[in-house]
Structure 1
């Protein structure tokens, strides 16, 4: 007599039949032994060589289940060559297989060994995903970067196998809700979902956390499995060098241009852009080598921002600040580094210093309150670095973004894709170890510089904080001049006799002026980068004259970049005023960049003049 569940299964899946049965004794490296009856099948939906391993008195258990008694314990185990055979600790597959065999052997039931390597993407693609994970992506982001789905497994064949042996109601051994959902939809009754153990190690903590956070696996994990942070005890993993990083960034530029309008509309970076930036290693360029970062310097950092801005200024701004904030986190004491870098070499954090909040002493830490603006990158961040003040001393508090209220206020003319929204908190408790003196963190001699030998950590914080806006302005201006040149070679201007704009002497002169402004911007920018580049190796800061020259060069570079864009936009006709036109977007982005304090020309000219004349600064933060 056909049961209710059998009839449902028959309607949803074609039947499979048992092809062969063979008894196989099993012996595991830890000494555990048991016996399995291994079944193969005809008629599986995907035609793969899946196996069903039957343990215990499974025939008797099926008869008992038919009479309303106990149901067999079942595990769907997807093949994992690296974990099952070679004992890889990057996942928990090997320990789960070993655990499942023992549990099912004791209770009676089935282990379905499914040939769906790498959550269905295949062995080679899984190894490619591992390589991307080494650059900072989690297991799901790596799949997406390769063009795959988060999980491509289909359990139709599993339902067919269970149906072929008459197991239409099971106790499912899993932490994965998708397995239960798919089997249920395929007509298999899940009488109980039995959790597997949590097989945690330092190597797989981030992998398990991603399964918990992305696909709702029922996993109870500690906050972190702390990696070693003693550089002498850690073999650095070589990250991409300067030229390789730049080549990766150049490859992104066409796609950033394609997504520039989408980025504006989303008012944050698209997930595809974030995945590509992570895969390219952009966020870890300033991260210490001992933590898996690239440990590169000022020249690489500034050039990456400049080149990203040739594709999309909002992307350059966001990526530049997120990479910079990784570097800021690496300046904190060891305890905080162990916490935030446990998940990889590039923890993402927003940072905001205006207006400054308050921090009141409470037992064990501080009660932090404030309303902070311009939190660039917050839409993609796990942490926030907040400026606070306690007893007249400026400090920085490190807070999980999830504990803050995010205000959606970033509605601007330019840089719309940065999502630089506001954050608020009222009497939020922050542990004492996550609040530090700003002057200590910002100095050349900071806690992180005593842990890691990378010279970039000895670069004073104010130096890098001033580089993003002028680098982004220069890259955007370079894109604008490139677009202008392309347009001039083909564009016919109304009410003129020339066949194309480039044939006009006036247009030729305009292009020369824009090109000259761009050359000026580039020379000032290169001079500023040169001044900054050697500071980490010397473990020193610029004197007043050097700081004045540095800030002045950056401001003049930004001013010349903006003038180049203005000349281009004014000579590009009415079509360039459409909101979707790249030149219109570039013009709006650069206008917003020039309003940033790092490029605000009037106060910079005043303070730079004082510094160059030896009169001292009247603005201490300059």
Structure 2
């Protein structure tokens, strides 16, 4: 006997087809961000404008699923204007939507936003049902009183959408058994049913209980939990209406997300150079991956991660694009710098979320004059990396011989488009100027205080990373970026040697040449040296003593020396690769040519300038006093 859903499926005259695809960055009220590729369709059975939001490397996941790998995570979410947009607590739709986007962003898959308001009865009818519920009926009884069914939703269009993108086997994120039953009848295989959270509040407990009792939703509504929500004066403390959790990614998840970005960063590397800033698509993906919030305190919604994860993220991003690694590394670092400020400033800059974006520059130092209520600052500051994407600027100023830092909205500064360089062109490290610009007292702080292990933010937040002296992280970006770029260069060299036919030689492949084999071994050895020095430096500052207060001059010298030697070895590996890669590698668009230029610029940065580092490191290792106190 043909079932109802089978007859619907059979009645479809043609499959749906994808109509359009567009990338949309998403931001939720709690600050969580994600990037979705939104698909629209032709030929949906009900003629409605349903949407499919794709997250992560979904094309790759579908390919892997066909070979027996993981299937995509899928959520069918029916439109709920009151809950999704206005935050109504009479249902759990808004929290479920937020939860689904985070889970699918992390796992890869699809959220289908289906235009089926009020379980298919429409917005006005749903509000009429709300009025009846206020008289004592539950949600299903109210629907029936209005002449509607318990649930009038039809997932035929959802099955068409999934079929159109090739997702014929899915892990379904739901507590509703009807969704799984309909999709199965429509030809979609449910590899696993993944339950959603129980978003219980005082306003929706009867609604959730009705879903459990009438339509067998798998909801665990233990009496004790309900009692705690309904009676805050009960013996046990009441949980919040919707459990508040820190959703920032941990070390493993953020590194996985960064790895997934690398192919797209490589595809955009040339465009990034030409733009002389990061593309908006790259910025959106970095935000969605949690890169900018990785050093932000947990209490502010950040990840509160350590030095080792931070350095590894910069290194891996540079395997895709050195300009992206440089910019993202510094913007993340500047979030950490803002978290070191006093509470008043933190309340101001973190009001919009856990990762306010700020450029920071200290060269050359500007001037600050004390005026009523604050300071008047003037200066011309260079190398403001990330300023093209920033709301704030951290500027070095001097007042009566004391170095200070002023926090200023970028909109109040003049931006000079001067970043025309051979390498790291995509960082947009332009200049900023100001003349007698007023900055209130609370947004000007002593640099020595902000840079110390015992800074104002470290007394507010328990995250160990805030006790790390400022100089530790300031010195990490350039060598980490150089190492990641060198790793990419050696990878490209190996690939080219294995497949390319040599010119003017008798060898079939370049790898068949004894000289080429020796050159590759040299490059590989230099890369190994760079990696070992870098790992030693990270080990020195990422140990159990999070405050690093006992890192003596010898330890600081060893740290800076290891980073400098890592940068030198990375540059030598890139030089060997470029010299052995033929004339084609000299084209401006060639990845190796770009890597070589980027690494050359990295080595000119003060954090990798070898001569002064060797001098000061030698003094520190010999037990002599540093002649550069900031070292």
Task: Determine if contact 1:396/1:436 at 8 Å carries over to the other structure.
Answer: yes
Offset, 1:115:
5.3
Q: What CA distance in whole angstroms lies between the structure 1 residues aligned with 2:393 and 2:529?
A: 36
Compute the displacement of 1:496 (Å).
1.4
Give the conservation status (yes or no) of the 8 Å contact 1:212–1:218: yes
Q: Report the secondary structure of 2:507's partner residue.
A: coil
Q: Which has the larger radius of gyration?
A: 1
Separation in structure 1 between the aligned mates of residue 215 and residue 413 of structure 2, nearest angstrom:
24
Match of 2:630, SS state, is: coil
1:22-51 deviation line (CA, Å, top 9, x unaligned): 999999999999999999999999955999
Q: Could you tell me which residue of structure 1 aligns to residue 477 of structure 2?
A: 468
Larger CA deviation: 195-204 vs 578-587: 195-204
Say whether the 8 Å CA contact 2:34–2:289 is kept in structure 1.
Answer: no
Contact 2:232/2:238 (CA < 8 Å) preserved in 1?
Answer: no
**Cα distance, 1:111 vs structure 2:** 29
CA separation of 1:489/1:215 partners in 2, compared to 1, >3 Å: closer, same or farther? farther
- The answer (yes or no) to whether the contact 1:226–1:342 under 8 Å persists in 2 is no
Distance 1:136 1:442 in 2: 61
Q: How far apart are the structure 2 equivalents of 1:11 and 1:473?
A: 59
**363-372 or 16-25: bigger deviation:** 16-25
Alpha carbons of 1:203 and 1:425: their partners in 2 closer, same or farther (altered >3 Å)? farther
The 8 Å contact of residues 377 and 418 in structure 1, kept in 2 or not, is answered as yes
Cα offsets for 1:269-326 (capped at 9, x unmatched): 0000000000000011100000000011001000000000000000000000000000
Query: Aligned partners of 2:23, 2:482: CA distance in 1, in Å?
Result: 70
Equivalent pair of 1:457/1:536 in contact (CA under 8 Å): no
Number of the residue aligned with 2:233: 232
Query: Structure 1 residues 583 and 153, CA, compared in 2 at 3 Å: closer, same or farther?
Result: farther
* Shift in alpha-carbon separation, 1:313–1:615, aligned structure 2, 3 A: same
Question: How far is 1:69 from its partner?
Answer: 67
Q: Deviations over 1:104-156 (max 9, x none)?
A: 99999999999598999999999999999999999999999999999999999
Q: 1: CA distance between counterparts of 2:7 and 2:582? A: 69
Note closer, same or farther for the CA distance 1:353–1:487 as it changes in structure 2 (3 Å cut).
same
For residues 532-567 of structure 1, give each alpha carbon's deviation from its aligned partner in whole angstroms, at most 9, with x where no partner exists.
Answer: 113762451521111111000000000000000000
Find the residue that maps to 2:233 and give its secondary structure. helix
CA contact (8 A) 1:263 1:417 kept: yes
Once the two structures are superposed, residues 63-109 of structure 1 have per-residue CA deviations (whole angstroms, 9 ceiling, x without a partner) of 99999999999999996445379944899999999999999999999
Secondary structure of the corresponding residue to residue 520 of structure 1: helix
Q: CA 1:550/1:128 → structure 2, altered by over 3 Å: closer, same or farther?
A: farther
2:34 matched residue in structure 1: 34
| Structure 1 residue 569: Cα displacement | 0.1
1:580-616 per-residue CA deviation (whole Å, 9 max, x = no partner) reads 0000000000000000000000111111111111121
SS of alignment partner, residue 384 of structure 1? strand
The separation in 2 between residues aligned to 1:269 and 1:481, in whole angstroms, is 24
Could you tell me how far 1:481 is from its partner in structure 2? 0.2
Structure 1 pair 80–461 and aligned structure 2 pair: CA distance change class (3 A)? same
Distance between the aligned counterparts of 1:538 and 1:393, measured in 2?
25
C-alpha distance 606-123 of structure 1, shift in aligned 2 (>3 A): farther
Which secondary structure does the structure 1 equivalent of 2:121 belong to? coil
* Alpha carbons of structure 1 residues 108 and 133: separation in structure 2 relative to 1, 3 Å: same
Change over 3 Å in CA distance of 1:545–1:237 after alignment to 2: farther
Does structure 1 retain, via aligned residues, the 8 Å contact 2:5–2:186? no
Structure 2 counterpart SS, 1:259: helix
Judged with a 3 Å threshold, the aligned counterparts in structure 2 of structure 1 residues 526 and 204 are, in CA distance, closer, same or farther, namely: farther
Cα contact 2:62–2:167 (8 A) shared by 1: yes
Mean Cα displacement is larger for which, 530-539 or 34-43? 34-43
> Residues of 1 paired with 2:404 and 2:37: CA distance?
65
The total of aligned residue pairs comes to: 621
Written as runs of structure 1 = structure 2, the 5 A alignment for 1:474-513 is: 474-513=483-522
Distance 2:80 2:47 in 1: 19
Equivalent position SS for 1:225: helix
Distance in 2 (CA, whole Å) between partners of 1:135 and 1:298 is 58
Deviates more, 1:97-106 or 1:369-378: 97-106
The 1:578–1:434 alpha-carbon spacing in structure 2 relative to 1, beyond 3 Å, is same
Aligned to 1:185: 185
How far is 1:484 from its partner? 0.2
- Cα gap change, 1:153/1:515 in structure 2, threshold over 3 Å: closer, same or farther? farther
TM-score normalised per structure 2: 0.64
**From 363, 367, 389, the counterpart of 1:358:** 367
> CA 1:602–1:199 in structure 2 vs 1: closer, same or farther (change >3 Å)?
same
Q: Deviations over 1:385-420 (max 9, x none)?
A: 000001100000000000000000000000000000
- Contact 2:363–2:381 (CA<8 Å) still a contact in 1? yes
Query: Which secondary structure state, in structure 2, belongs to the residue aligned with residue 282 of structure 1?
Result: coil
CA distance in 2, matches of 1:602, 1:499: 44
Distance 2:469 2:242 in 1: 21
Q: Provide closer, same or farther for how the CA distance between residues 237 and 332 of structure 1 changes in structure 2, counting only shifts above 3 A.
A: farther
Any idea what the Cα deviations from partners look like across 1:453-474, whole Å, max 9, x if unmatched?
A: 0000000000000000000000
Judge conservation of contact 2:12–2:45 (CA < 8 Å) in 1. no
Q: 1:368 aligns with which of 371, 377, 380?
A: 377
2-structure distance, mates of 1:427, 1:491 = 60
3-state SS of 2:375 partner: strand
Equivalent pair of 2:199/2:242 in contact (CA under 8 Å): no
1:549, 1:608 within 8 Å by CA — same for their partners in 2? yes
> Is the partner of 2:362 in helix, strand or coil?
strand
User: Secondary structure at 1:357's aligned position in 2?
Assistant: strand
* 1:620 CA displacement: 1.5
1:491 positional shift: 1.6
Q: Provide the C-alpha distance between the structure 2 equivalents of 1:611 and 1:410, rounded to a whole number of angstroms.
A: 36
CA distance in 2, matches of 1:58, 1:585: 29
- Specify whether residues 44 and 437 from structure 1 end up closer, same or farther in structure 2 by C-alpha distance, changes over 3 A only: same
Distance 1:430 1:227, change over 3 A: farther
Change (3 A) 1:22 1:135: same
Name the stretch that deviates more: 304-313 or 109-118: 109-118
**Taking structure 1 as reference, are residues 24 and 393 closer, same or farther at Cα in structure 2, changes over 3 Å only?**
closer
Q: Is the 8 A contact 1:62 1:166 kept in 2?
A: yes
State yes or no: 1:378 paired with 2:387.
yes
